[in-house]
Amino acid sequence: MRFGAHMSIAGGVDKAFDRAEKAGCDSLQIFTKNSNQWNAKPFDEAVLEAWKQREAETKIGPVVAHDSYLINLASPKDDLWEKSIDAFGIELQRCDQLGIRYLVTHPGSHTGSGEEAGLARVSEALNRLHNDMPELDVITLLETTAGQGTNLGSSFEHLATITSGVEDKLRVGYCLDTCHIFAAGYDFRTPEQYAETMKQFDDLLGIDRLFAIHLNDSKNDLGSRKDRHEHIGQGFIGLDGFRQFVNDKRLANVPGLLETKKSEDLSEDIENLATLRGLVD
Ligand code: ZN
Ligand code: MN
Ligand code: MN
């Protein structure tokens, strides 16, 4: 697995490579803009140059982007849905400018319209974007979620339903978050449980379409439906759960990214990465 972490872009997107290098990352995840705001100012040419230079120097990759938390492609409200489609389109373009192939998104919340309607909305939104930007070479990765409230994506079936409604299926892939699937009720702490969970994933979605993994332990127990990340080995998943993922040969080239709490000096990331690498046989 290509171990890495989500890094801040404070000071410019290219600074994420400095942080990733300092922590000893092989791969990297970023927000291409402030994740709590709708708007973003376009990239300067100089920033794009610096990004490309640092990428070449550090050889860190794959790089994946995560979209803004404001975006809800499942919303039944037309104004928020349209705003979300526009914002997601801009995020796809920003990835394209940076040469990032993968944009991770949470499928969104149906906020009362029901699962079926919500999932159909996501497919429709993606079809619109694909038709509007036929040339764009960025794959949307639907992320598994913990299933809090009316959040969609807490079952592999949800993600399969979204993809079944998308015309250009090669523009969709998946991101598996270990904390989220555990909170959603999928166990993988023993080799047997891991094999069963990944068989379900493969049957419904295809392991060959799994392009990113978020490696987070969970502050809450199996099936809690709570999205609270914990440091590797310090939560309810524990080291045995991560041992399964990091030794799965099918995932050898997949980025395995931390989304755990960190301080400025990145000491927690350094420690979590050492823990993960120590689990590899
Ligand atoms: Zn996410
Ligand atoms: Mn995640
Ligand atoms: Mn989470």
| pLDDT tens by residue, 180-197 | 999 999 999 999 999 999
Element (H, E) at 280: none
Closest CA to 35 of 118, 91, 110, 92: 91
**Do residues 84 and 125 lie in contact, with contact meaning Cβ atoms separated by under 8 Å?**
yes
- C-beta atoms surrounding 279 within 10 Å: 17
**What are the φ and ψ backbone dihedral angles of 46, each rounded to 5 degrees?**
-65, -35
pLDDT of residue 4: 99
Domains of the chain: residue spans and CATH = 2-278 (3.20.20.150)
pLDDT of residue 197: 99
Cα of 173 vs its chain's centroid, Å: 10
**Distance from the alpha carbon of residue 259 to the mean position of ligand 2, in angstroms:** 7
pLDDT of residue 29: 99
The whole-model pTM stands at 0.98
pLDDT of residue 160: 98
pLDDT < 50 positions in the chain: none
Please list all protein residues whose beta carbon sits less than 5 angstroms from ligand 3, which is an ion: 227
**Distance from the alpha carbon of residue 183 to the mean position of ligand 1, in angstroms:** 14
Cα of 132 vs its chain's centroid, Å: 23
Alpha carbon separation from 69 to 13, 19, 29, 189, 207 (Å, rounded): 18, 23, 15, 29, 26
pLDDT of residue 231: 98
**Distance from the alpha carbon of residue 107 to the mean position of ligand 3, in angstroms:** 13
**Distance from the alpha carbon of residue 79 to the mean position of ligand 3, in angstroms:** 26
